[in-house]
């Protein structure tokens, strides 16, 4: 299952969730408890060598 990054638009908290690719529902923010203002983020990727890409939302622990 893929790891998705989310950011709560209410409190600004960034978090990661392991969800099935077929999942259409948004997870609940573990910080404030809402799921109405949670937005899926575009994940950063790392390329071997000296080239990296950074995400706008830095995860706070978890799977990174």
Give the angle 51-45-5 at the CA atoms, nearest 5°.
150
- Give pLDDT, residue 64: 46
Q: 35-50: per-residue pLDDT in tens? A: 889 999 876 666 666 5
The answer, yes or no, to whether residue 31 has pLDDT greater than 50, is yes
> Cβ neighbours of residue 4 under 8 Å, at least 6 residues apart?
16, 17, 18, 19, 40, 41, 43
The answer, yes or no, to whether residue 9 has pLDDT greater than 90, is yes
The residue extents of the domains of the chain are: 1-64
Q: pTM higher than 0.85 for the full model?
A: no
């Amino acid at each position: 299952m893929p790891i998705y990054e989310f950011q709560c638009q209410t409190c600004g908290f960034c978090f990661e969730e392991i969800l099935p690719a077929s999942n259409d529902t948004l997870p609940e923010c573990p910080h404030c408890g809402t799921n109405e203002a949670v937005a899926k983020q575009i994940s950063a990727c790392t390329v071997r060598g000296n080239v990296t890409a950074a995400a706008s939302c830095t995860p706070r622990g978890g799977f990174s």
